[in-house]
């Protein structure tokens, strides 16, 4: 599936069960990466609420899912520099929301091994956001302990998805797991 807006990690030996469950929420496709499914859903908010309801009503029904990460913006890239430019343009939209707040960027990379480093790209985006907030006169701060927001970057091959989640959203949606 090339046009995804959700990345799902399933536990080992749960691939078929996870795919069957998720097909109730949207289009599901296999990826070339171990225990990773890609989805396309029409309404991310509605999908998140439906999955949360399933989890509350029957926790075992969603026990196959390790992480469920919807993304708000997607792009394709062919090089690390193209990834950085497109990711920077995306995260700049969240600068007003990060003013005076604690946050961090977390990246889960699949593909581009040896060419794109999750840690380097996290630092690149963290630094860009910190400098932008400082220039705006509303400095933010990196915090890994109970931050106000987390920006998540998911890649599957040459496609990246990026999303912004607040503390309240991270606490509310039990399958929206950062790490």
**Per-domain residue ranges for the chain?**
6-70, 73-170
Residue 28's CB is within 10 A of a number of other CB atoms, namely 21
pLDDT, position 145: 95
pLDDT, position 175: 93
Strand-pairing partners, residue 70, are: 6
pLDDT, position 1: 73
pLDDT, position 178: 86
Residue 172's CB is within 10 A of a number of other CB atoms, namely 13
Q: Which residues of the chain have pLDDT under 70?
A: none
The CATH classification number of 73-170 equals 3.30.2300.10
pLDDT, position 107: 97
| Residues 72-107 pLDDT 10s | 999 999 999 999 999 999 999 999 999 999 999 999
């Amino acid at each position: 599936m090339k046009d995804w807006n959700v990345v799902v990690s399933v536990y080992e030996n749960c691939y078929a069960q996870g795919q069957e469950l998720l097909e109730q929420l949207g289009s599901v496709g296999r990826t070339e990466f171990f225990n990773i499914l890609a989805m396309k859903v029409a309404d991310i908010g509605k999908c998140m609420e439906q999955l949360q309801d399933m989890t509350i009503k029957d926790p075992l029904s969603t026990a196959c899912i390790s992480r469920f990460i919807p993304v708000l913006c997607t792009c394709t890239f062919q090089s690390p520099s193209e990834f950085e430019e497109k990711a920077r343009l995306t995260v700049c939209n969240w600068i007003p929301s990060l003013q005076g707040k604690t946050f961090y960027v977390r990246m889960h990379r699949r593909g581009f091994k040896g060419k794109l480093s999750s840690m380097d790209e996290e630092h690149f985006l963290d630094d860009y956001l910190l400098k932008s907030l400082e220039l705006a006169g509303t400095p933010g701060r990196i915090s890994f302990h109970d931050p106000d927001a987390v920006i998540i970057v998911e890649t599957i091959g040459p496609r990246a998805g990026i999303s912004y989640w607040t503390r309240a959203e991270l606490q509310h949606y039990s399958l929206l797991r950062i790490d």
